[in-house]
Amino acid sequence: MLENPGAASARIYDYSLGGKDNYGPDRDAAMAALAMHRVARLLPRENRKFMRRAVRYLLDAGVRQFLDIGCGLPGKGNVHELAQRADPGARTVYVDNDPVAVVHYQALLHAVPTATAVHGDARRPADVLADPEVTALIDLDRPVGVLMIGMLDQITDADDPDGVVRTFRDAMAPGGHLVICDLASDRLTAADFAKHEKIVELLGFPVVFRPAARLAGFFDGLELVDPGLVPAPEWRPDRPYDPPSGWLMAGVGRKP
């Protein structure tokens, strides 16, 4: 039995993208946060569009297995759909620590043998990698695309995000790719930070902005794919885009 939900990251994000899988507390939190920080309106779309471009890039690079950590709720153009359009045998495992997000993906995937969703916590990366449903679909001896899109900014320093990313990086075979899109603090003003503290209180879960130089460290030991770590809309754009918020930095690293 699922608990009665308060506001949750996956559902706030779903609401911000125009989805229907959210409840009153999610909508209230989203609207209050967006009223305080107008630029935040841009973030879900920047995030999601980057994810799709990055997955297509990985598919072109020959990657055929994807581990989407902090997958959120299904939306338009999900990872397994992009992957299977390119190759019906491509495999995807979605992971989230929100059981509601996982159940929605499981319902969507019940007849899809090449994709599944598991309940897992990125803060325990070894457990995620050892999950029997992960190991059944993902062969870590072959290149895997590990996606952390809008997820690491919910892991506080106390939970060692560097260690989390390192564990996934170390588990990747050569040719594997790490895809990150994350909140960067560089463009935030003191006033933005003050508002941000209120928003975090309202949301009830951590939202951590880190300097871009710190985010770059997540790619240690990997070759950063051109154009490097950049504002999300500037990462290999495939069509004209609105001016970036500057709050989301995105990059892809390849394991040599």
Site residues (vs ligand SAM, CB under 6 A)? 9-10, 13, 47-48, 51, 69-72, 95-98, 101, 121-123, 149-151, 154-155
Give alpha helix (H) positions in 109-243: 125-130, 132-137, 161-171, 190-203, 212-216
Nearer to ligand SAM, 74 or 176 (CB): 74
Alpha-carbon distance of 210 to 206, in angstroms, equals 12
User: Would you say 95 or 215 has its CB closer to ligand SAM?
Assistant: 95
CB of 164 to ligand SAM, least distance (A): 8
Q: What are phi and psi of 119, to 5 degrees?
A: -85, 120
Other C-beta atoms closer than 10 Å to the C-beta of 121 total: 16
Residue number closest to ligand SAM, CB atom: 72
Question: What's the closest the beta carbon of residue 256 comes to ligand SAM, in angstroms?
Answer: 26
Q: By the 8 A CB rule, do 171 and 236 touch?
A: no
- Residue 248 CB, shortest distance to ligand SAM, in Å, is 10
Q: Taking the complex as a whole, how short is the minimal distance between the CB of residue 28 and ligand SAM, in angstroms?
A: 17
φ and ψ at residue 58, rounded to 5 degrees: -60, -40
Q: What angle do CA 181, 191, 24 make, to 5 degrees?
A: 65
DSSP structure string for 227-248? T-SEEGGGSS-SS--PPP-SSE
Minimum gap (Å) between residue 78 Cβ and ligand SAM: 8
Alpha carbon of residue 156 to chain centroid: 15
CB of 213 to ligand SAM, least distance (A): 23
Q: Tell me whether residue 42 or residue 69 sits nearer to ligand SAM (CB atom).
A: 69
Give the position of tokens 């463009």: 187
Q: Is 53 exposed, middle or buried (0-12, 13-18, 19+ CB in 10 A)?
A: buried
Nearest CB to ligand SAM, comparing residues 9 and 114: 9
> In this complex, which beta carbon is closest to ligand SAM, that of residue 52 or of residue 142?
52
In the complex with ligand SAM, which residue's Cβ is closer, 137 or 181? 181
